[in-house]
Chain A
Amino acid sequence: GAVVSQHPSRVICKSGTSVKIECRSLDFQATTMFWYRQFPKQSLMLMATSNEGSKATYEQGVEKDKFLINHASLTLSTLTVTSAHPEDSSFYICSARILNTEAFFGQGTRLTVV
C-alpha cells in the first residue's frame, strides 16, 4: 500500500512552546489529509480535515488557533500545536487519501508537554 510518513515519532517540549508535526505522502499525491488525536486506551478522534490549497475544516470543539494545520502541497500537511500545555500531551496520527480511496496512516507522533 501507499506510504505515509509522519515526523517526528516522539517529541517532548516545554509548556508554552510550539511544536510542528509533519505528515508526508511519499509515493502518491494526497487530495485530503486528516489529523486525529488518540488518548491512551481510547479511539482515534478526528481533529480536522485538510485539503490541499484550502483552509482546514475543524471538528467541533477543536480550537483552530491552537492546532494550526497547513496543507501547502499534495504531499505535505503540517499540524502545529501552539503554546502547548500538558493537557495537549497525546498521540497524534495523520492519514492521507487520494479522492475516494482508502486512507493510509502515518506512524503517529507522541507529544509530551512538560
Chain B
Amino acid sequence: AQTVTQSQPEMSVQEAETVTLSCTYDTSESDYYLFWYKQPPSRQMILVIRQEAYKQQNATENRFSVNFQKAAKSFSLKISDSQLGDAAMYFCAYRRANNDMRFGAGTRLTVKP
C-alpha cells in the first residue's frame, strides 16, 4: 500500500521569508506522480505543483519549488517570498498512473506579517 507522511502538523513563516514543508512517501512503484495541494479556509483544493517520478528535474512554479529525492522517497515543498495569501493547509499527494490519489495528513502553514 502507498502511504504519504507529512511530519509537520503546523509550520509558521515570516512574510517574505522562505519555508519548506516536508513529505515522504512509501511505494514500490517506479511510475507515479506527486503533488502538493493547497486548501485555504474555503476548502477548495488548489493544485500548487506536480512532479512526475520519471523526471529528474525538480518542478518549479513561480515561488513554489520542490526537492524531489526519488531514492529517499522524499518530496518537499519550498515556498519563497512567503505571502499572507499562502496561509492554508498544504497536502502532499501520491498517485500511481491511472490510479486514485492518496493524501498526507496535511501541514497547516501560518504566515506572520
Where the two chains meet, the residues of A that have a C-beta atom closer than 8 Å to any C-beta of B are 1, 34, 38, 42-44, 46, 49, 91, 93, 95, 99-100, 102-103, 105, 107-108
Instruction: Please measure, in the bound complex, the distance between the C-alpha atom of A107 and the C-alpha atom of B43, giving whole angstroms.
Output: 7
Q: Is the CB of B44 within 8 A of A105?
A: yes
Which one of A99, A103, A107 contacts B101 once the chains associate, using CB atoms below 8 Å?
Answer: A103
Of the listed residues A44, A100, A107, the one surrounded by the most CB atoms of chain B closer than 10 A to its CB is A44
Where the two chains meet, the residues of B that have a C-beta atom closer than 8 Å to any C-beta of A are 33, 35, 42-45, 47, 50, 91, 95, 97-98, 100-106
Contacts of B91 in A (CB 8 A): 43-44
Pairs A–B under 8 Å by Cβ, sample size 15: A43-B91, A43-B103, A43-B104, A44-B103, A46-B102, A95-B45, A99-B98, A100-B97, A100-B98, A102-B33, A103-B95, A103-B101, A105-B45, A107-B43, A107-B44
Apart from A43-B105, A102-B33, list 11 A-B contacts with CB within 8 A: A43-B91, A44-B45, A46-B100, A46-B102, A91-B43, A93-B43, A93-B45, A95-B101, A100-B97, A103-B95, A108-B43
Instruction: Please measure, in the bound complex, the distance between the C-alpha atom of A93 and the C-alpha atom of B42, giving whole angstroms.
Output: 12
